[in-house]
Each structure stands twice: as C-alpha cells, then as structure tokens.
Homo-oligomer: A and B are copies of this chain.
Amino acid sequence: MTNSEKADRPSVVRETDDEARHLALTLLREARAVALATSEPDEGGFPFVSRVLLGIDCDGRPTLLVSGLSAHTKALSVDPRCSLLAGEAGKGDPLAHPRLTLQCLAAPVERDSADHQRIRARFLRRHPKARLYADFPDFRFFRLDPLRASLNGGFGRAYLLEGNDFLLTNAAVWPLAEIEADAISHMNTDHADAIAAYALRYLKSDAAGWELVGIDVAGIDLALGDQLRRIRFVEPVTDVASLRTAFKYLKFGGA
C-alpha cells in the first residue's frame, strides 16, 4: 500500500504541507538518540526496540553506530528493515509532543571506505564521546535509506511523508561534503562570532559555546552540551562557491 492510498482511508491523517515536512526533518536532525525498532530473524521477525545514537549523512540519510554484540545489529545484519522514533516525550503530556516514525532499510557501511570516513567524521562531531568506542572492532556504521514516515504533531495532527522528503539531492551535495570538515573547522576557529550570532538569531540562545557540527546543502547543525539544533539556509546551496553567501545571508538575513 502506498502512502497516498493510506492517506485516502478515512482517518485523522492531514494533507502533508511544507510545515509538516519541516517539523519532521527538524525532529530527525535534532535527535541525539532515537528508539530503533528491528525485526529479530531468529525469533521469526519478533519486534525489538532499543536506544541508539543518531547521525545524519550529508545527503540526509540517517546513520547509526552500533555494536556487533547487540541484538539490533544482529537483526539488521539479516533483515535490513527498521524504524526510528525521533522526538522526546518532554514535559507534561508525553503525547502532546511531536514525534516522527521513520521506516528505513539499513545498509552496513564498509570500514575504511570513503563513505565510512565521511559518515564517521560527521557522526563523531555530533557525538564526541563515541570516539571512545567508534573504532572498536565490533562496532560498525549503518546508513539508512528512508522509505516512508509518519509524523504525529500531537492529538489529531498526523501526516504521512515519503522517503524522498528526507533526502538532499542537488548537485552540490557531494562536492560540499568534500570541503565540509575544513569549512566547519574554519568557521568554529575563525568565525565563532558568526556562530554565536546564528544561535542568538535562530535559536534564541545567548549561551556561549555553540559549535558548528555539520554543514550540508540545506543548512547547518549546531551543538551545545545536550542540545543539537538545526538552522536552515534561506535557500539550499547549489554549488560550493555559494556556501559563503549562504552563511552571510544567515547572519544578516539576506537584506
């Protein structure tokens, strides 16, 4: 059954608009950890849910770093079908807070491949403590291909999304990935004032210490302590040369 057929059934599902898509992407991007549901093959497909740290590749695909000794890794190695739950229960009624269910196919990332190097670097910028074990021989990365999602924005506010809604696909995605690490290092070292200005303007935070941990064609990811926050560029970057302009527009609002 496709998402549009599902949406045709009498239900509380609303028409997916840009606001819903933005909320879904933000919930995923700002999640440090998610609940991961896998299907245990030696139990005939019994659902198993556990907590894992979440990374995001430069094309928007979720990534996981997991131990080969764990039940979810054993499951994923045989049956790649999985589902993530992003969005914290927070204060007050746990069901009043928005959350996202994303269904994916997981593929192992070959160690020492270019993918591995990039995914590892992006992951460890979000999760610096994972440096302690990321290179242990039993640990490995998976990259997840999003198939479909369901966003629950609170009671009676349900939306269905396509896997493509989570992917960044323009021509600058991979060229930008090549220079990402250097650009982040440059920004954090030489333009801490700009990072602080973004945090103040977009995150309403005047706290010291926000660091840039990710740049992709659609925006940037900032981290401070337990917080992981997303800021979108005014327009996606379509070539590497325009990254500088995108940052400038963020700071000055494109005036």
- Chain A residues close to B by CB (< 8 Å): 1, 11-12, 32-33, 35-39, 42-43, 45-51, 53, 69, 71, 81-85, 87-89, 91-95, 99, 101, 103, 129, 133, 150, 152, 155, 226
Please tell me which one of the listed residues B11, B92, B129, B152 contacts residue A50 in the complex, with CB atoms under 8 A apart. B152
Chain B residues, CB < 8 A from A226: 91-92
Q: Are B83 and A49 interface neighbours, CB within 8 A?
A: yes
Pairs A–B under 8 Å by Cβ, sample size 9: A32-B89, A37-B37, A37-B38, A39-B39, A39-B45, A39-B46, A45-B81, A49-B84, A71-B150
In contact, A47 and B103 (Cβ under 8 angstroms): yes
What is the distance, in angstroms, from A176's C-beta to the closest C-beta of chain B?
A: 28
Measured CB to CB, the nearest residue on chain B to A52 is B95
Given A37-B48, A47-B82, verify A32-B101 contact (CB < 8 Å).
no
CB–CB B12/A85 < 8 A? no
CA distance A230 to B32 in the complex (A): 28
Q: Kindly report which residue of chain B lies nearest to residue A11, judged by CB atoms.
A: B69
Residues of chain B within 8 A (CB-CB) of A53 are 94-95
A36 contacts across to B, CB distance below 8 A? 49
With a CB–CB cut-off of 8 A, which chain B residues contact A92?
A: 226
CB distance from A69 to the nearest CB of B (A): 5
Interchain CA distance A38-B85 in the complex, whole Å:
12
Docked CA distance A38–B94 (Å): 19
If A12-B69, A91-B226, A226-B92 touch, does A83 touch B46 (CB 8 Å cutoff)?
Answer: yes
A-B pairs, 4 with minimum CB distance = A35-B35, A37-B37, A33-B94, A37-B49
A99's nearest neighbour on chain B, judged by CB, is B51
In the assembled complex, which residues on chain B have CB atoms less than 8 Å from the CB atom of A39? 39, 45-47
Q: Which residues of B contact A89 (CB under 8 A)?
A: 32-33, 51, 88
